[in-house]
Structure 1
């Protein structure tokens, strides 16, 4: 019986019935997680997919503010927040051959070679 309840809560948690899983932060019916281990942009996308999520795409200013705050809070013990991969058409950030990331300290969009290792943020529906 206890095993059945654990499976039920796991499935409900994964499907978002009870909100975000532990470690994920809610915002506007979505769940976000900052992954601090630096990987390439391609590996970041793949790792997010493994979590049933996607690499965060930032379009509107409110989402930019939330993601920047998420990164700042997750890296509060570090001397500075770290540049973090996002999934955005890199032409928006200035280059068509590189991958997009949030650059600190200002939280602006920038680009780098896709094989550079950086932490990343994943998002999935609640």
Structure 2
């Protein structure tokens, strides 16, 4: 039976290639490569955590979960993090921690996961001269602002997908 079904799928596929018309779209079902409750984008898993924590405490929780505070490297990733925070119930204009900080050296930003800072989305185009050394995403715009690390905020963690 499996051979017959496989042959039928192959035949339909060949027929579709020859005629330029597909009679059905066949999508293989694969297991999720992220832990339950996490959202996958490419090779990474993301989770929004609603419990408010300081920047350092949030990073520690993300470490326990096998990752770090989220590092963002594209508009798509920024939009995903914003969407996760909105789905999690953060009020517009609120803030969430992301894993960017200049606590080690002023104006020399680094991600807590050690990845390159190859994308930023600071409000006004660059980091402000605020007293804060940690970066939060503003949840109505997706823009980033410097903030005081001791302020408790919700946050997003990132980790690699499971390897099979």
What is the TM-score with the length of structure 1 in the denominator? 0.76
2:84 paired residue number: 70
Question: Alpha-carbon deviation of 1:70?
Answer: 1.1
- Give unmatched runs, 5+ long, in structure 1: 1-16
Instruction: Identify which range, 55-64 or 110-119, moves more after superposition.
Output: 55-64
The answer to whether residue 58 in structure 2 is matched with residue 33 in structure 1 is no
Provide runs of 4+ in structure 1 moved above 2 Å.
78-82, 89-97
Aligned residues: 108
What is the TM-score with the length of structure 2 in the denominator? 0.60
- Rounded to whole Å, the distance in 1 between the matches of 2:37 and 2:142 is 22
Instruction: Identify which range, 113-122 or 78-87, moves more after superposition.
Output: 78-87
Q: Could you say which structure has the larger radius of gyration?
A: 2
- Rounded to whole Å, the distance in 1 between the matches of 2:133 and 2:79 is 23
Q: Which has the higher helix share?
A: 1
- Give unmatched runs, 5+ long, in structure 2: 1-30, 108-125
The answer to whether residue 82 in structure 2 is matched with residue 47 in structure 1 is no
Deviations 1:97-116 (A, max 9, x none): 52100012111100111000
Q: CA RMSD in A?
A: 2.1
1:118 paired residue number: 153
